[in-house]
């Protein structure tokens, strides 16, 4: 189903509803974003009823992130011996694609069916400082209990590319308030510590004996009083994935749970500590209204020696995926 949503820069914006017997998802053309995920009739994704709501919140809720997810230190990088400067939108650093990243771009729908929608955006050479004209598509497909997000990119020059999705989940329902009693398990033995601007130091540390240890499931809130989480008002940290099966979460209240898998090497756990008070679809949102699991390359990987680089070569198509598998217990 295609439904009128709002206007953006004078253009009509639509929602596309895709569904299976178990899962129903609304995808918005602005930012190719997930506006709602309904499992057994419960909406578990934070979102807004207007374009203005998304833009004013500054939360990236549900959006496709690009060209590069997370941070690039000092908004610069070397590629093929040349220094590039990208737009600084978090102090001196570059975050989630810059001032007008993919979250603020209108995508073009190239195919749509009852269970799938594919959207395209052409990012011009030099946009936000990145080299190369990038032909980018993202396809959302619902089948049985799964939501599969498939990314594809082709550039005419060597460039950087690290997409992700920024959906905030609250498994008690997006209208329920605090998400921190959701239960979480992460398949990661290590994480990357950061400086006070959330740029990784380049070290990789074990999670054992730290508040970052989610190898055994526990409530998100379990270690919130630990001083290591004070600066970020909760979690906003990158983990090194042990395998493609990255995370599992569930709610004791609704019985709804989901698994996240991806071919990315890392993922960010963000528990929404910086969400500003704002009117969401069903209630006022604020800090900890939802949490994100964002598959990605290590933040600032292009400027760090130890990590895989999100570099794609000219005239070669690249692909990544994120898969969410939902379930209901009880």
Residues with catalytic function? 166, 294
Contact 94, 138 (CB under 8 A): no
Tell me if 93 is assigned to a ligand binding site: no
What is the spatial distance between Cα 150 and Cα 239, in angstroms, rounded to a whole number?
A: 22
- Number of Cβ atoms within 10 Å of the Cβ of 21: 8
What is the spatial distance between Cα 126 and Cα 92, in angstroms, rounded to a whole number?
A: 19
Tell me if 166 is assigned to a ligand binding site: yes
What is the spatial distance between Cα 279 and Cα 49, in angstroms, rounded to a whole number?
A: 9
Residues in Cβ contact with 227 at an 8 Å cutoff, skipping those fewer than 6 apart: none
Tell me if 237 is assigned to a ligand binding site: no
The DSSP bridge pattern shows strands 190-192 and 76-79 to be unpaired
Contact 47, 35 (CB under 8 A): yes
Nearest-5° Cα angle at 50, 47 to 54: 55
Q: Which residue has the tokens 């190719």?
A: 32
What is the spatial distance between Cα 200 and Cα 204, in angstroms, rounded to a whole number?
A: 9
Tell me if 236 is assigned to a ligand binding site: yes
Can you say which residues are annotated as belonging to the binding site for beta-D-galactose?
Answer: 70-71, 166-168, 236
């Amino acid at each position: 189903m295609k439904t009128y949503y709002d206007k953006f820069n004078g253009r009509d914006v639509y929602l596309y509803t895709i569904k299976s017997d178990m899962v129903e998802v609304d995808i918005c053309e602005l930012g190719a974003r997930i506006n709602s995920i309904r499992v057994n009739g419960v909406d578990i994704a934070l979102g807004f009823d207007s374009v203005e709501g998304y833009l004013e919140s500054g939360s990236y809720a549900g959006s496709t992130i690009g060209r590069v997810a997370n941070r690039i230190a000092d908004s610069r990088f070397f590629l093929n011996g040349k220094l590039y400067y990208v737009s600084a939108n978090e102090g001196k650093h570059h975050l989630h694609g810059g001032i007008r990243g993919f979250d603020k771009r209108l995508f073009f729908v190239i195919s749509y069916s009852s269970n799938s929608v594919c959207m395209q955006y052409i990012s011009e050479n030099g946009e936000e400082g990145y080299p190369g004209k990038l032909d980018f598509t993202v396809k959302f497909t619902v089948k049985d209990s799964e939501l599969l997000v498939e990314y594809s990119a082709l550039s005419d020059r060597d460039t950087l590319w690290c997409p992700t999705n920024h959906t905030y989940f609250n498994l008690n329902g997006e209208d329920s308030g605090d998400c921190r009693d959701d239960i979480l398990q992460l398949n990661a033995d290590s994480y990357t510590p950061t400086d006070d601007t959330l740029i990784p130091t380049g070290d990789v540390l074990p999670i054992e004996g730290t508040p970052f240890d989610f190898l055994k499931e526990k409530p998100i809130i379990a270690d919130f009083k630990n001083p290591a989480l004070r600066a970020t008002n909760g979690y906003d940290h990158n983990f090194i994935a042990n395998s493609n099966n990255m995370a599992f979460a569930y709610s004791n209240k609704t019985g709804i749970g989901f698994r996240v898998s991806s071919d990315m090497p890392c993922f960010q756990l963000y528990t929404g500590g910086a969400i500003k008070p704002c009117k969401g679809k069903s209630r006022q949102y604020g800090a900890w209204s939802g949490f994100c699991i964002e598959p990605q390359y290590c933040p600032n990987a292009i400027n760090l020696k130890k990590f895989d680089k999100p570099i794609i070569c000219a005239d070669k198509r690249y692909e990544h995926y994120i898969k969410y598998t939902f379930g209901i217990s009880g």
